[in-house]
Amino acid sequence: MSFINVLDKGYVRLVNHMGTDLAVVNAARVSYAKESTVLTDRDIRLIKFLAREGHTSPFRHAMLQFEIYAPLMVARQWWKYVIGSAHFEGTGDSLEAWNESSRRYITEEATFYIPATDEWRSKPENSKQGSGEVLDDRIGAKLTAELLVYIDSGMRKYEEALDSGVCPEQARLFLPAYGMYVRWYWTASLQSVCHFLNQRLEQDAQKEIQDYAKAILELSKPLFPNAIDQLIDRDLAQEEDVNEDRISSL
Ligand SMILES: Cc1cc2nc3c(=O)[nH]c(=O)nc-3n(C[C@H](O)[C@H](O)[C@H](O)COP(=O)(O)OP(=O)(O)OC[C@H]3O[C@@H](n4cnc5c(N)ncnc54)[C@H](O)[C@@H]3O)c2cc1C
């Protein structure tokens, strides 16, 4: 099992996986009642053929399961991946209930994503979404300080509301939610993971979810090197060469 830190306090952990490149090959070959035990050049050519021709069903016989700890703004974007994907929060409720569960029962201290002073980005110049260059450090320092004050104020009001006897599920209205970390399990087919990567490694995806997509790629690529090579846009896969330093075994 492996683990990669992302952002200031988040992470991605590979919990489990089913299959290898061979699972894709054998799922395709079952129609001829054939099975490979060792991956050969012929098998790799078959993976290339399947990906190129859009025969995607064999890629859905391999599965990956991750634990993710990310700010809510990232989680909301992730949640949009519904085909071949299941999202569960810690207690096993479906994602639709994740927000309720995490703060209704107050299972842990609220934790927030706080960009460092050199991590605040400008508005994009030629696009309505995304971001541009990093802002001047003095502006960044002011924004980081102001965000800390804002979070502190929200936390104090949240605690006061709890102290006044209100239920936790309403007290959480005082929490600055976009940057609040949430934890969940994501179980997805290899095809679905690659679909996520093709969209979220792109430059037009929000920088924070790009960082998580890089971690997902780093953890997945060693397990399915050929299939991922073929299913992911070539430029994106090459850009993200596995950085061993960022992977640590649990
Ligand atoms: C840069 C960027 C900006 C975005 N901005 C916004 C935004 O402003 N607002 C917003 O709401 N969302 C936004 N999204 C999210 C986006 O609209 C998708 O919901 C998200 O990327 C998940 O992709 P998907 O719908 O392909 O995934 P899934 O729903 O998991 O679908 C996977 C694939 O399955 C197939 N599929 C799914 N459903 C069907 C169906 N009914 N019939 C046939 N085939 C199907 C399609 O090929 C689809 O691509 C943005 C995404 C990106 C990458």
- pLDDT per position in the chain (250 positions), as tens? 599 999 999 999 999 999 999 999 999 998 777 788 999 999 999 999 999 999 999 999 999 999 999 999 999 999 999 999 988 765 444 443 333 345 666 657 889 999 999 999 999 887 777 899 999 999 999 999 999 999 999 999 999 999 999 998 899 899 999 999 998 999 999 999 999 999 999 999 999 999 999 999 999 999 999 999 999 986 666 554 444 334 333 2
The residue contributing the CA closest to ligand 1 atom 33 is 83
206 Cα nearest atom in ligand 1: 1
82 Cα nearest atom in ligand 1: 30
Query: Does residue 234 carry a catalytic annotation?
Result: no
Q: Where are the alpha helices (DSSP H) in 9-71?
A: 21-29, 41-53
Closest CA to 113 of 144, 88, 135, 68: 144
**Among all chains, which residue has been given the structure tokens 């990567």?**
197
DSSP-derived letter for residue 123 is P
- What's the 83 CA to ligand 1 centre distance in angstroms? 9
Do 131 and 121 meet the contact criterion of CB atoms below 8 Å apart? yes
Please tell me the number of Cα atoms within 13 Å of 246 on its side-chain side: 19
77 Cα nearest atom in ligand 1: 15
Pocket of ligand 1 (CB under 6 A): 80-83, 85, 195, 199, 204-205
